[in-house]
Structure 1
Amino acid sequence: MDFADELQGYRKQRGMSQENLAEVIGVSRQAVSKWESGQSNPEMDKMIALSEFFGVSMDHMVKEVSGNQEAVPPLVTGNFHADVTAKYHYEYKSKRTLFGIPLVHINVGRGIHVAKGVLAIGNIAVGGLSVGILSLGGLCFGALAGGMISIAGLALGLLLAIGGLAAGIIAIGGLAVGIFAIGGLSIGMFSLGGCAIASRIAIGGYASGHIAIGDVTKGAYTILVEQDHFSSIQAEQVRGLINQEYPRLWKPVAEGIIAIFE
């Protein structure tokens, strides 16, 4: 029996499809098909993976490829229950480092895999630029991200956070919490959104703040929007209120708010 027949026999004894085996070894189904039809033979690294998976010695596998007809060691029969999806994993770490940290570290796969580098990509990523399900660092992208600048489903940023739920000095999201908050529901010192709640200036459909500007307002000083058009509000009116209530407000912030109505 040649290698092609042996491989097919091992696979069927495990109750596996060609797709299952291909995913375990990290190749395409077409590659497994070619091995079993005798059109090609696996490369050495794939041969090693096959021998380890089927519990067959490397010598035995190599001899089968070269045509040796030794007896096939027995395999455990029965339905295949192994978790083929758990085998997937890829890792790359650059040899170049910065202060002992790899410039690039990629560590992804099913399970928990941590990447640490200047550029880090992993299930969990920690780095200057990090991309992962959970990412931490300077500039972060992921489902959950925490860093200087974070863009994620749940984003926590010391400076800027953008996400479904965002919290940071500047927060932009469906729910935004920050000193400057912009979102569907925004809560902060200065808030802009569908529902804006602020300690100082709130602008939105519903606005609640010391200065509140919107369709529905609540605050010490309120300005109502006419017919849902913010253009109905005069920029000088807003400027006057800001200068009256917050004369020491940082000018770029004041001018940014006023610019909304110009």
Structure 2
Amino acid sequence: MDLGNKLYTLRKQKGISQETAANEIGVSRQTISKWETNSSYPEFDKLVLISKLYDISLDELAGITNINNKEINYIPIKTHYEYISKRKIGNIPLIHINIGRGFYKAKGIIAIGNIAKGLLSIGLLSIGLISLGPIAIGLLSALGGLCIAGVSIGGLSVGIVAIGGFALGIFAIGGFAMGIYSIGGAALASKIAAGGYANAPVAIMQDTENIKTLILNKLPNTPNF
């Protein structure tokens, strides 16, 4: 008998629902369903909890041997970890961690996953108020390889304040910076640009003299400094 069918049979013998089993083990009901259909496999720490819940040894549970010692199998256990906190805000868990080999999604106030969505998101693709990851999209701030956010820091950054190798924003700082106000090795701006190469109504480069006068002549409404 494969692991999925064994888990299904054990649960039915126990007389409990998938939701009850999920609460006892500390996973989602969808995870129980995936285990029972062999769409995914539990990690070792979950196997321990399952064995206690169904009162069965790990050997019997994993299919290494059955009760009569006649069946010898090996059930592969995928590298995957999922945790969902019991505490929720609305219908969203406070913490959801869902990581492993594959496209595992995490959704919570704090979300950590291959694909993460939450107020604080950490993942290969992260979307949230504050996001961290290779691809990060944040309403407030983002840190990663490709970032889009109010305050964005990354290799390629787009935001109100953007800092990166390539930065595009109202305030842009980077190797190559484009914005209203830009600072960089190469800086392009609609108002003020400063850098090794600067192109703007006010362009500040190494040989620029009397910067304050230059700015006020070009942009008289600039606040005094």
TM-score, normalised by the number of residues in structure 1: 0.60
Structure 1: which 5+ runs fail to align?
Answer: 1-23, 29-41, 64-69, 216-223, 226-232, 256-262
1:28-74 Cα deviation digits (max 9, x unpaired): 9xxxxxxxxxxxxx9574677655654x67xx2xx4xxxxxx35236
Find the aligned partners of 1:164 and 1:102 in 2 and give their Cα distance: 32
SS of alignment partner, residue 135 of structure 1: strand
Correspondences of 1:106-255 after superposition (within 5 Å): 106-148=97-139, 149-157=141-149, 159-215=150-206, 224-225=207-208, 233=209, 237-249=210-222, 251=223, 255=225
Judging changes above 3 Å, is the alpha-carbon distance between structure 1 residues 50 and 87 closer, same or farther for their aligned structure 2 residues? farther
Equivalence for 1:39? none
Find the aligned partners of 1:44 and 1:94 in 2 and give their Cα distance: 16
1:174-226 Cα deviation digits (max 9, x unpaired): 111111110111111111011111122111111111111114xxxxxxxx25x
- Name the % identity: 41
Q: CA deviation at 1:137?
A: 0.8
Find the aligned partners of 1:246 and 1:174 in 2 and give their Cα distance: 28
TM-score, normalised by the number of residues in structure 2: 0.69
Q: CA deviation at 1:239?
A: 2.0
In the alignment, is the contact (CA less than 8 A) between 1:202 and 1:209 conserved in 2?
Answer: yes
Find the aligned partners of 2:106 and 2:147 in 1 and give their Cα distance: 19
| AA in 2 matched with 1:244 | N
In the alignment, is the contact (CA less than 8 A) between 1:193 and 1:204 conserved in 2?
Answer: yes
Q: CA deviation at 1:238?
A: 2.0
CA RMSD of aligned residues (A): 2.9
Structure 2: which 5+ runs fail to align?
Answer: 1-40
SS of alignment partner, residue 205 of structure 2: strand
Equivalence for 2:95? 104
Find the aligned partners of 1:43 and 1:96 in 2 and give their Cα distance: 23
SS of alignment partner, residue 108 of structure 2: strand
| AA in 1 matched with 2:105 | V
Correspondences of 1:42-61 after superposition (within 5 Å): 43=48, 45=50, 51=60, 54=63, 60=66
Find the aligned partners of 1:206 and 1:48 in 2 and give their Cα distance: 70
Find the aligned partners of 2:192 and 2:116 in 1 and give their Cα distance: 37
Find the aligned partners of 1:93 and 1:244 in 2 and give their Cα distance: 60
In the alignment, is the contact (CA less than 8 A) between 1:170 and 1:179 conserved in 2?
Answer: yes
Tell me the matched-pair count. 179
Equivalence for 1:73? 71
Find the aligned partners of 1:123 and 1:213 in 2 and give their Cα distance: 43
Structure label with greater radius of gyration: 1
| Range that drifts further, 125-134 or 238-247 | 238-247
User: Residue 87 in 1 paired to residue 74 in 2?
Assistant: no
Judging changes above 3 Å, is the alpha-carbon distance between structure 1 residues 90 and 43 closer, same or farther for their aligned structure 2 residues? closer
Q: CA deviation at 1:92?
A: 1.3
